[in-house]
Structure 1
């Protein structure tokens, strides 16, 4: 069975992990713990809380990846009791009727997209809706599996906001999104970058996000070694994979050729020709290829990509 990023997998202990890469290591699915079913209901974890829980109670789900030179969460294929798949779940929600307000808003959003020419058959739903634990205040997280539909959806979001069929995020929704990301940008920096992406909007005061998944398994076959943290100012050479998962930008730099981000905050973060400041983990492949990885954990603590003002002089380290 194939496991894709944005899928969730559930174990007999009620642990629910988000898959982070299509590639498996030692028959283990690389993932990150997001939720746990308990007698008191569902519990959601930050990266730190998840690491603490696994270390104390489920250490067999911690795994050192030789390919990535990092300790990750990983689940053996045999330990998966349920595979939550975004496309299948979206079809279930599309075909059923309920009084759940978030599900009804999801169906309304799909209808809006479809009525404006978008083929929704290559879309899935992830996040809380994927496992049916949404509540008032939950977001709608859509994942697109083809570039053409994703870019069409971005254009539609911009158009439908202008036509007042969708709503731009208000201050409270932007602030909530920023606090959830817990990123290393200031609120104003975060807001400036996000407002130009058109991958977020609101429908009936509920925020929704769209993300793109175009797996590139060849990337997972390359082995890297960490070289330590680096801060770099340079220029974006190409942004054609900026909304992919992971987001990738080629750099106009004499030695570091690429920055890769596994956290959604930095998808679509910069455009071709733009001067940027990057802070992350420098890695080198066995072939000597240097790249920076932003997103050592879900929150990308002390790591970032940000566009620089035109007046900021570029210098490289």
Structure 2
């Protein structure tokens, strides 16, 4: 049966089509769901559900497996709503995934309403690999900013620990950014969206509330104009931690700098001067600089020059 609900499908939900699991990567999902194919059955897979082994797919593997849903113009998958067999919403299934690790995180954020938090990723769909302990923790809308502040205070008070050197290096290798490790770390340490509670590591992930779904970046395919590097003042950072991350800037040509990689989420804040490089796309008569069109990018980036000056980091790009 097709999915029917008065609740829209939104970012960080998962949908199941048969035995394939897709993560939702957008908010405009009225007709077809913007997603990435993440998990598929595989006899050599390292995780199991209902007696079936599954594998986490690379981007290239996902295209091969799910090519019927792949949109080449967008670089994502478009799943028609009528083909969806099941929807997994983090806020609705929190109790189902409440193991000891998740419970520690939930209890730390006890002042936030339970219906405004959840867990996404492999835990949400019952495909957590044995030995996996990281928690992909979602908090919605305005409550996310409260949660982020609690992390900051928690680290300062010693209730939480910021990632240790080994963890930072693991994240850096995984993200493989064009920034030097020193520059990457300077940006990450002030974001306060990663922490340890005891031995449990978690990420704090932002998703708009249901009353905010029409805000943010227009989810349309733009007309590619040119590759460009700019320096500009950030005048609005409300969606700096969203997907995509959006930085509205004071610039004669560019409306906003936009990034589709979590690497550059929360990279610059209101009032700071940023430097960004990427492809300019025209959407509805406005130009946006797309600096991070995929997870790993080598010539696209966002850097806070204000932060680099404060930290006295001159060489922030890998030469």
Query: TM-score, normalised on structure 1?
Result: 0.83
Report the Cα distance in structure 2 between the residues aligned to 1:268 and 1:44, rounded to whole angstroms: 27
Q: Is the 8 A contact 2:263 2:295 kept in 1?
A: no
Equivalent of residue 162 in structure 1, options 139, 156, 168? 156
Do the aligned residues in 2 keep the contact of 1:143 with 1:213 (CA within 8 Å)? yes
- How is 1:302-317 mapped onto 2 (pairs within 5 angstroms)? 302-308=299-305, 309-310=308-309
Which residue is equivalent to 1:112?
Answer: 108
Q: Structure 2: how far apart are the matches of 1:10 and 1:300?
A: 29
Quick check: 2:25–2:243 contact (8 Å CA) kept in 1?
A: no
2:117 to 123, 129, 132: 123
Query: Which residue in the other structure is 1:89 paired with?
Result: 93
SS of the residue corresponding to residue 240 of structure 1 reads coil
Match of 1:99 in 2: none
The answer to which structure has the higher helix fraction is 1
Verify the 8 A CA contact 1:137 1:206 in the aligned structure 2: no
**Structure 2 unaligned regions, length at least 5:** 45-52, 315-319
**How far does residue 250 in structure 1 lie from its aligned partner after superposition?**
0.9
Q: Over aligned residue pairs, what C-alpha RMSD do you find?
A: 2.3
3-state SS of paired residue (2:12): coil
1:9 equivalent to 2:15? Answer yes
Q: Does the CA-based 8 Å contact 1:105-1:203 persist in structure 2?
A: no
- Inter-CA distance 263–64: structure 2 relative to 1 (3 Å threshold): same
Deviation at 1:221, TM superposition (A): 6.1
Match for residue 61 of structure 1?
Answer: 69
The answer to whether the aligner puts 1:34 opposite 2:38 as a matched pair is yes
Tell me, yes or no, if the aligned pair for 2:97 and 2:123 is still in contact at 8 Å: no
Q: Distance in 1 between matches of 2:174 and 2:151?
A: 22
Q: Which moved more, 1:248-257 or 1:219-228?
A: 219-228
SS for the counterpart of 1:87 is coil
Gaps of at least 5 residues in structure 1 are: 95-102, 313-317
Match of 1:47 among 59, 63, 73: 59
Matching residue within 25, 29, 32 for 1:24: 29
Please give the TM-score of this superposition, normalised by the length of structure 2: 0.82
CA spacing shift, 1:235–1:10, aligned 2, 3 Å: same
| Runs of 4+ deviating beyond 4 Å | none
Residue correspondences, number: 290
Say which SS state the counterpart of residue 292 (structure 1) adopts: strand
Rounded Cα–Cα distance in structure 2 between residues aligned with 1:237 and 1:304: 19
| Partner Cα distance (1:198, 1:250) in 2 | 21
Deviation for aligned residue 1:291? 0.7
d(CA) in 1 for partners of 2:122 and 2:88?
11
CA offset digits 1:85-124 (Å, max 9, x no partner): 1111213234xxxxxxxx311101211221xx33332011
- d(CA) in 2 for partners of 1:220 and 1:276? 22
- After the TM superposition, which residues 158-237 of structure 1 pair with which residues of structure 2 at under 5 Å, given as runs? 158-214=152-208, 215-217=212-214, 219-220=217-218, 224-237=222-235
